[in-house]
Chains A and B, each alone.
Chain A
Amino acid sequence: MTRPLVAIRSVSKTFGEFQALKQVSLDVSAGEVLCLIGASGSGKTTLLRCINQLTPVDSGGIWLDGELLGVREQGGRLHRLTERQIARQRLKTGMVFQRFNLFPHKTAIENITEGPVQVQGRSRDDARTEAMELLRRVGLTAKADAYPAQLSGGQQQRVAIARALAMKPMLMLFDEPTSALDPELVGEVLSVMKELAQSGMTMMVVTHELGFAREVADRVVYMDHGAIVESGFSRDVLGAPREARTRAFLSAVI
């Protein structure tokens, strides 16, 4: 078996008294699209944030492209990486937030070029050319110079996807990218994501859009109370769930 792009091993995370993740282990291969589903508070967001190191894990480990994230093993002990090293590791992942989090004082294209120019030190002209290409991919060429406040939610989220892609990540993380959107705007964002999946991007998507999961995901993972209850091919998990809890969740959602 080839080495997975993401390997999550026995990851636990506690907030105060509350255990948000309990010994979670999961592999994601390159090019795979994985959907995470589960009830509110089941730890889906926390898992994505651990992969992007916005939240440090308490125990266990996450390997991305063979590299252990956040810590370094030396002499039988784990040493936390510096902020700079963590920032460098983060470049391999792109994150799309539920609430877009575009930079409101920058135009759409400035949002996209900010990372390439400021962090990766690329030339402004190259970055702009690539940003225009990304805007074309998400269908927003005409909105390059609009500020986020002048865009609809769906347009903002598509710019946010372009902003993440501009860093050329090997893994894209989506945290409920459509749940802050009006229903009529969900489709435009999902179709951008679908196109991205078809281009071969490795994606982990937290979503309540089961139609998207069924159509686009290779695998679906069902989480409950901080643990993975069931995972498998999307048609199996969504079509014929083995676990009673998965079945209950799916019948409640549909």
Chain B
Amino acid sequence: MSNSAPLAGGFLDLSKLPVARQAHWRRWIAAAAILAALAAIGRAFANGQIEWSYVSRFLTARVILEGIVNTMVMAVLAMALGIVLGVVVAIMRLSPNPVLKSVAAGYTWLFRGTPLILQLLLWFNIALVFPTIGIPGLWSARAVDVMTPFLSALLGLGINQGAYTSEVMRAGMLSVDAGQYEAAKAIGMGRLRALRRIVLPQAMRVVIPPLGNEFIGMVKATSLASVIQYPELLHSAENIYYANSRVIELLIVAGLWYLLVVSILTPLQMLLERRFARGFSQIAR
């Protein structure tokens, strides 16, 4: 349909004019300043007492590789323990039962309220409190034999992680509409089944970004387990520099490995997010 009313003249015809490129002067200046600063730091490292040949040699040393494997094994197992505990504690926290509620709140309070390194040391030295542990009449053992660095680190990191994860999970579960819970009840589901089948899968969508964050934190927190002799990455690096005194070189080696692992984790998180976004992608929120 054409416009029947005549248009007023006297306006510039813009359709023929090209659009000039904007000059982002300030961005260029800022980028140059940052590059200069990086170059200065790089120079300091290059001219400092750093033997780069040691860095490249130890980057793939057997002990270091074992260290990164131990780090990842511990991070994955402790995170798994943390998520299981976190889900259970979050469900307890939201239950109508006051006993369960207070146990859950107490757990979070205790393990969030004390430093992680202290908890690791406590688990490792638990033999001082309980010389023997076991199930009366069935099985018992000396605590010093049971509480290996591996087990102490797993319990310390996992139980501490559970306290944080429970809050992430609780927030995720609260983000699911109450109507979902009622609809699940209306088709005859009990509380736990409704949580497992209906509420938690929807909560996952919300909790994966913070959990990814927590997992990256966990990868780095495993380095604290070096104080209880767990042979993770930092501990391996330390053992080498105690022998050859190449402190900075080995710290750089460890740092590069941590960076690499964390860089790989980010795209993995994206994949998980997509998996749990099923059915939600169409909602513009």
Contact = CB atoms under 8 A, between A and B. Distances in A.
Contacts of B188: 87-88, 90-91, 115, 119-120, 167
A253 interface: no
Interface string B173-203: 0000101101111111111010001100110
Given A97-B182, A115-B187, A105 B279 contact: yes
A150 B280 CA distance: 9
B43 interface: no
A106 B279 contact: yes
B21 interface: no
A9 to B, nearest CB: 23
B283 interface: yes
A54 interface: yes
Contacts of B202: 103-105
Contacts of A94: 186
Nearest to A173: B186
Nearest to B176: A104
Contacts, number: 78
B278 interface: yes
A147 to B, nearest CB: 4
Contacts of B281: 149
A166 B191 CA distance: 20
A84 interface: yes
Given A54-B182, A103-B198, A147 B190 contact: no
B282 A164 contact: no
A147 B278 contact: yes
A1 B122 CA distance: 74
A87 B201 contact: no
Given A84-B190, A105-B280, A106-B279, A118 B197 contact: yes
A91 B186 CA distance: 8
Given A54-B185, A97-B182, A105-B201, A118 B193 contact: yes
Given A99-B179, A101-B179, A119-B188, A149 B280 contact: yes
A118 B282 contact: no
Interface residues of B, number: 26
Interface in B127-158: none
B10 to A, nearest CB: 46
| Listed residue (A94, A104, A115) with the most chain B CB atoms within 10 angstroms of its CB | A104
Nearest to A150: B282
Nearest to B183: A101
Interface in B243-285: 276, 278-283
Contacts of A118: 189, 193, 197
Contacts of B177: 101
Interface string A123-134: 000000000000
A139 B237 CA distance: 67
A162 to B, nearest CB: 12
Contacts of B184: 103
| Listed residue (B191, B193, B279) with the most chain A CB atoms within 10 angstroms of its CB | B279
Contacts of B190: 83-84, 87
A52 interface: yes
A147 B189 contact: no
A167 B184 CA distance: 12
B193 A119 contact: yes
Contacts of A114: 187, 197
A13 interface: no
A135 interface: no
A86 B103 CA distance: 27
Interface pairs A-B: 10 shortest CB-CB: A115-B187, A147-B279, A101-B183, A149-B282, A95-B186, A101-B179, A119-B188, A91-B188, A105-B279, A104-B279
Given A54-B185, A104-B280, A114-B187, 7 more contacts: A91-B188, A97-B179, A103-B184, A119-B187, A120-B188, A147-B279, A163-B187
Interface of B: 177, 179-180, 182-191, 193, 197-198, 201-202, 205, 276, 278-283
24 contacts: A54-B182, A54-B185, A54-B186, A83-B190, A87-B188, A87-B189, A94-B186, A97-B186, A101-B182, A103-B184, A103-B198, A104-B202, A104-B280, A104-B283, A105-B202, A105-B280, A118-B189, A119-B188, A120-B188, A149-B279, A149-B283, A164-B186, A166-B187, A167-B187
